[in-house]
Chain A
Amino acid sequence: MAENVVPRVRVPRDAKAGDSVSVRTLISHPMESGMRRGSDGNLVPRQIINRFTCAFNGEMVIDVEIHPGVATNPYFQFDAKVNQSGSFDFTWYDDDGSVYTETAEIAVA
């Protein structure tokens, strides 16, 4: 398991029904591409987050398949349509099998 993996998400606190809200997510992760050589001259084994998903009240917003071309601390910003109050569930899948999750609430008037 990679060290110091901290997911961070930002969604608006409230919104109007039917609004499209901007969601920003970031997870601190080295995203070792498997192509870099360490100080001993050997390739550092690949270890990246290979999938990220976001769902709102169980309904999929986005599902991203990630390759080593995504930068360290993968960041994603996208829009979600909210029709009622509820929670966002964010999930990141690591190469080593670890799963990191985060949730965020939004109140819809």
Chain B
Amino acid sequence: MTSYILRRLVLGAVVLWLVSVVTFFLIHLAPGGPSSAVSFERTAEEREALLKQFGLDEPVVVRYGKWLLSAVQGDLGVSYNQGLPVALLLKQRLPNTLTLGLAALVTATVLGILLGTVAAVNRNGWLDHVVSTITTLGMSIPGFWLGIVAIILFAVELRWLPASGIVSSGKAGDLVDRLKHLAMPAGVLAFTLMPNVVRVTRSALLEVSRADFVRTARGKGLAPGTVLFKHAFKNALVPVLAVLGLVTTALFSGSVVIESVFGWPGLGRLAIEAANGRDYPVILGATLLAGLVVVVVNLLVDLLYAAVDPRIRHE
């Protein structure tokens, strides 16, 4: 087990290094440059001075070498457009994305498993159709559109929730105010992630319910509820776990859009702003951090398989 984890960690480090290589050279291949230097008003002289300050007058391979050398020492460089250390920006933004992501993940998981179970139990009944309509909507409506509609409904018309931001000024410690800000982005994000959980839960439960051991349990005369929760459910959990791993990584890409719509100061918005402004060190830092999360989550999910299903062993 320990050697398995070690092997996965080493593999993870290699993956991250590859991510850094691909990202670094891709972003430098893209046309444009740091928005402070590549702007409409900037004259050639001003632009050259700025690019030199950023070290962009050096060849790209040299730049990568320098970046890697300081990155392995924990220094991710300084943002071109914000003038702040990348590590500080990531540290400021990560908790916000985690809050949003966790709220959405928990909502999507709880509701998804619940609805999936309801659908499976009432297979082909009207409740199943209602659930399948909801999941189809969640899968096909783009998050940004849903976000805008939610803002119009809940912020402009009903005035229940704030349209944007993470907290009102002067209310930094006000939990209710923070929850109000969180409700819409987390809700919309959860709505777009939930369908995967619903569908996998439903099909896994249906598959398990046809298995011999479930039939045996029913044959023994156990109550349907006991069969569902004690026998079927536990065995249906492995595919659900797998999809949760996928959903967690989808959270990161989903939050990029949602954070921009709701002005949520998280990693996603930081990455978008960095990409628009060609803030290379920030793009790299944010991509690597997202990569790290994916690597770690995948490892945790694999380890959880073994915990849930004793037949799975990691050697």
> Is B a genuine binding partner of A?
no
Q: Could you tell me which B residues sit within 8 Å of A by CB distance?
A: none
Q: Could you tell me which A residues sit within 8 Å of B by CB distance?
A: none
